[in-house]
Amino acid sequence: MNKTGIQQLGIRRNGDVWQIRVWAPTAKNVLYRFYQKDMEIALKPQQYGYWYAETDLLAAGDLYWISVDGNELPDPISLSQPEGVHGPSKIVDLTFSWTDKDYRPPALSDFIIYELHVGTFTSSHDFDGVIKKIPYLKDLGITAIEIMPVAQFPGERNWGYDGVFPFAVQHSYGGASEFQRLVNSCHEANIAVILDVVYNHLGPEGNYFSNYGPYFTDKYHTPWGNALNYDDSYCHGQRDLVLNNVRMWFEDFHIDALRLDAVHAIKDFNAVHILQQIRKETDEIIAKSGKNHFLFIECDLNDRRFLDPLAKNGFGMDAQWLDEFHHALRVSVGEPKKGYYEEFNGLADLAKAYEKAYVFDGNYSPHREKFFGTDTLGIKGDHFIVFCQNHDQVGNRMMGDRAASLYPVEITRLMAFAVFISPYLPLLFMGEEWRTKRAFPYFTSHSDPKLVEQVRQGRKKEFEDFFEDSEFLDPQDETTFRNTVLNWDEQDSEVHQKHLSYYRSLIAFRKTNPGLKNIQRDEMTAKCLPDQKVLILSMRKNNSSLVVLMNFSATVQQVTLAEDLQWKMIFNTNEMDAAVLLDTDYAQTTVASLKPWSGQVYISI
């Protein structure tokens, strides 16, 4: 047990000795069994349901089973599953020759995030494919990549949220050592790495956790079935697992930030919430390494406690995905008000999102049929992450439609502009920057026919309020997956090159303009002109005034700027060429003329 009281789980090497620890609190005997040898090692029971052994008989690369009362099972803390989720586990030595000693992640306010899925980012479907694109990502101007979950899942095709071995890096992606090489390569390019992790559920196939102990509880239910056990009897086993997992990603893989999936589905009424423990564990790692690490969350509760510091009995998370900004933005450009979009009122709510972050901050939510949310007073803008697309908001459409398939080019430019001039951390989804139309629907490669059919029916039901007339894409069909893989040759066309150039200029503008860099919410006011469908953002920083104008209408709009100042345009979404955007010497004016679906930035001179 380490100094935090957390048991070290799994099989790890300590000098010349291998330490084996398994949590199986109701077992009568637990054995380590060599896969290809007629040998076994008996584990001895310890306090709180743990079983332990030390041996010098193991070696990296060995395949093995864990036997629990005679049942041979994969190790739930396995670091590798080379034969899939039902096969034997493999011993891995996580020692790696790191060259990132001097690397430091960016300050929180400097994160510009690029979300990607390893299996569909390139045609090689692996970490090496991502490594080869690091120069491209560096040139684009992003400061961090966010990688969708890599925990071992069934088969070779999955979004990653059906992972069932939280410590095993997906074998088809290249496994642990290749993932370490990717992180090291990113750090050499001064790019941070965020990893999406799932602590609210486990996938349905290959999930052997219940064979070991009460990792689940029927005390609560989630969309995926019984909840993971964070506060019922024997909950220390699941809590130790999560804290071990956090420590592994930060220490053994040098991950800079974790993005915790759907934390609203983590049911925990302990006096110390598991997120608070994760925060404390992370702070200890930071103190030990001298390098910062961040905790980002997905949460739909609009509850400031998730962002408030531990000193205020908050959960101390560093930033939260702000879905309500996305919803208000999409309705502003014409998204049909169905499903969770039905309660958003376009520009008025978008203006509120710029100022208040949460659109529902204690007011009545028609979709939920209750008063909902808290205020965000005093919480900095860099505690929220915004986007006009991400894996969920693309995949949460029956056909996985990207914005490029739904809107003309000027609207997609305007939406990206709305994200990058916000006081929040911007995120873009892979391929968005060159306006790919490649769909990104949900896909799987389960082996159980009954489960495959359940997934099909579940997906159909999930989207019945949205796109009931659309043709259904079968998640199990390999063609569904193949059609999601990015086609990098698209960038050779002039139209895609222009859009990519626009994104480069937009990112550079965000990073270099003193009026936008580190802008805070209390330095920005948002005003909606409903009749003109124009949104005006006003900012004052460093004795300079900045005005952002966005025209969400299909007609030209005239806006009079403050007449006691002289104004000069410094950015215009109508210009696609990066060199022109950044070098044009726009004339002074006091009246702005905005073309349909466009945005402009003016600075006082």
Active site residues: 261, 298
Counting Cα atoms < 13 Å in the Cβ hemisphere of 600 gives 21
Side chain identity, residue 296 = F
Which helix (H) or strand (E) segment is 347 a member of? Answer: helix 347-356
* Residue 428: CB atoms within 10 Å: 25
Instruction: Please give the structure tokens belonging to residue 41.
Output: 């090692």
The crossing angle, in degrees rounded to 10, of helices 494-512 and 409-420 is: 20
Distance between CA atoms of 283 and 278, rounded to whole angstroms?
9
Q: Which residues are annotated as a binding site?
A: 259-264, 323-327, 391-396
Contact 19, 52 (CB under 8 A): yes
Q: How far is CA 593 from the centre of its chain?
A: 38
Q: Which residues pair with 557 in a beta bridge?
A: 594
Which helix (H) or strand (E) segment is 144 a member of? Answer: strand 144-147
* Residue 200: CB atoms within 10 Å: 21
Q: How far is CA 157 from the centre of its chain?
A: 18
Distance between CA atoms of 368 and 359, rounded to whole angstroms?
14
Contact 87, 81 (CB under 8 A): yes
Distance between CA atoms of 549 and 562, rounded to whole angstroms?
13
Contact 140, 503 (CB under 8 A): yes
Q: Is 292 exposed, middle or buried (0-12, 13-18, 19+ CB in 10 A)?
A: middle
Q: Which residues are annotated as a binding site for substrate?
A: 259-264, 323-327, 391-396
Contact 2, 49 (CB under 8 A): no
